[in-house]
A = this chain, B = another copy of it.
Amino acid sequence: MLSQRSRYALKALLNIARNGGVRQVAAISTEEQIPRKFLEAIMADLRRAGLVRSTRGAVGGYALGRPADLITFAEVMRITDGPIALLPCVSRNFYQRCEDCPDEHACQLRSLFSEVRDAVTGILDNRTLADALRDDRRRDGAAVGEEVMG
């Protein structure tokens, strides 16, 4: 399961991307129903990873560190939750040997879970914040305004 941390991080980033420009923790907190102090800690992680830039003081806040179409879901999840793969020995970004495994290449779990990793990262490494916003607009459009467009 995704941690609450990751869910919050993704929602916060989508909130910033949706609104554009600089956005305060307090606003995100109330809009996305995220405990303020907890969100502060999460934003600090995202800042240290370069996903957002912060400005302090009276009209400060957070802005995306790069365009929304260059921030993937996978990247956010790796920052907040660590590895995406189900086994350490099949992770590309956080590889670690399974200590109790005598021979990695003979392991009957490894090939299957490599396949799972490929399936998952195939989606998450290629889906950006911008994609999520676009899908959302399309869904709204289909229900309400798209007809007007032809």
Contacts and interface: CB of A to CB of B under 8 A. Distances in A.
Residue among A2, A86, A123 with most chain B CB within 10 A = A86
A33 interface: yes
Contact of A108 (B88, B116, B133): B133
B136 A73 contact: no
A147 B2 CA distance: 46
A63 to B, nearest CB: 19
A111 interface: yes
A139 B107 CA distance: 11
Interface in A69-112: 73, 82-83, 85-88, 98, 100, 102, 106, 108-109, 111-112
A67 interface: no
A64 interface: no
B11 A109 contact: yes
Residue among A10, A32, A116 with most chain B CB within 10 A = A116
6 contacts: A1-B82, A2-B113, A108-B135, A108-B136, A111-B135, A116-B124
